Amino acid sequence: MHARVDVTCPECGGSGWKIERRDRWEVAVPCPCTAKVSVERLLAACRIPPRYAACTLDNFELWDASSPSLGQAKRKTREFVDAYPAVTRGLLFMGQAGVGKTHLAVAALKELVTGKQVRGLFVNFLELVQELQLSFDGSGRSREEILRPVATAEVLVLDELGAGKLTAWVSDLMYYVVNARYMERRITLVTTNYSDFPKRQGEESLTDRITAPVRSRLFEMCDRIDMRAADDYRRRLAERRGAS
């Protein structure tokens, strides 16, 4: 399928081709605008929520000077993006809600798409569960149509893993997604609010929320990035925007 071109492009007038003179000959070459449209199409296919569309590594603010883990998380994410595709492991962002885990995961995905033409996908795990539940009565897409891109995306952001009620069906779904990517060595960027060592008595651990087999695979296929902060990243950003 040909890339759709910008019909207002002054170089090609919307044809996707421009004429260049080489020696004595005039030749038709692809217009640069087609590459721009292709990147835009790849970004759209990632299904990144509008809330995170502006997330970049550059605008990830290191607002909590008391928590060096945020700076380390940003640095490790940058190193991962720069090294891709010469990487064999994804990233597992762990930390309480509001520390910027999803920001960094989305920023990495966007840079891989725009800089290296990676075919990626963003999936919120709880929304995936809900979409699959809708498929039971045939009113939505089939299970295969929903899960195939999740299992096969070159780079997947799997957001909020462990969210929602852990039933046997949800546990099986989680295992299917993670194991499918594990077996094919596909790069996965995962965010979760749970850790191996809960801070408060009675809190659930990562293993409690995602099961031991899934945790084992994640730790083998991803480098862990622990993010800790004394304040909420989203709340701090909202306060700064309100003050500006």
Digit-coded pLDDT (tens) for 120-139: 999 999 999 999 998 887 77
The model's pTM is 0.81
User: What is the Cα–Cα distance from 128 to 158, expressed in whole angstroms?
Assistant: 10
- 32: how many CB neighbours lie within 10 A of its CB? 11
Domains of the chain: 1-45 (no CATH), 47-243 (3.40.50.300)
How is the chain split among helix, strand and coil, in percent rounded to 5? 45, 15, 40
Instruction: Answer with the residue of higher pLDDT: 115 or 23.
Output: 115
Residues 58-95: pLDDT tens digits? 999 886 665 789 999 999 999 999 999 999 999 999 99
Least confident of 49-58, 60-69, 219-228: 60-69
Preceding amide of 85 cis, omega within 30 = yes
Per this entry, what is the length of the chain? Answer: 244
Run of H or E including 221:
helix 212-221
Strand arrangement, sheet containing 120-124: 120-124, 155-159, 187-192, 90-94, 222-226
Whether the Cβ atoms of residue 156 and residue 181 lie closer than 8 Å to each other: yes
pLDDT at 244: 46
Distance between CA atoms of residues 39 and 118, nearest Å: 9
| Residue 18 binned pLDDT confidence (cut-offs 50, 70, 90) | confident
Residue located via tokens 């999803």: 102
Better-scored residue on pLDDT, 231 or 19: 19
